[in-house]
A = this chain, B = another copy of it.
Amino acid sequence: MQKIDSDYWLIEQDRGNLTVSYRLKEIIFSEKSTFQHVMIADSYDFGRMLILDGVVQTTALDGHIYNEMISHVPLFLHKNPEKVLIIGGGDCGAAKEVTKHSVKEVHMVEIDELVVTACSKLLPEVSGNLSDPRVSFIFADGIEFAKNAELEYDVIIVDSSDPEGPAEQLFEIEFYQHLKNALKDDGILVCQSQSPLFQPNITRKTFNSFQELFAYADVYYAVVPTYPGGFWSFTIGSKSPFAISNDPLPDLGTKYFNKEIMINSFQLPEFLSEKIKY
Contact = CB atoms under 8 A, between A and B. Distances in A.
A19 B18 contact: no
A247 interface: no
A9 B19 contact: yes
A133 interface: no
A20 B18 contact: yes
A198 to B, nearest CB: 7
Interface string A36-52: 00000001110000000
Given A17-B23, A17-B45, A22-B18, A255 B271 contact: yes
A144 interface: no
- Kindly name the residue among A19, A20, A22, A228 whose own CB sees the greatest number of chain B CB atoms within 10 A: A19
Contact of A23 (B18, B21, B256): B18
A245 interface: no
A42 B278 CA distance: 27
Interface in A178-226: 197-198, 223-225
Interface in A248-278: 254-256, 258, 260-261, 264, 267, 269-271
Given A20-B18, A264-B264, A256 B229 contact: no
A258 B267 CA distance: 11
A16 B46 CA distance: 12
Contacts of A228: 20, 225
A9 B254 CA distance: 39
A6 B18 CA distance: 16
A17 B8 CA distance: 10
A178 to B, nearest CB: 34
A254 B19 CA distance: 29
A53 B90 CA distance: 42
A96 interface: no
15 contacts: A17-B22, A17-B44, A17-B45, A19-B23, A21-B21, A65-B269, A223-B223, A224-B230, A225-B228, A230-B230, A255-B270, A255-B271, A256-B271, A258-B270, A264-B267
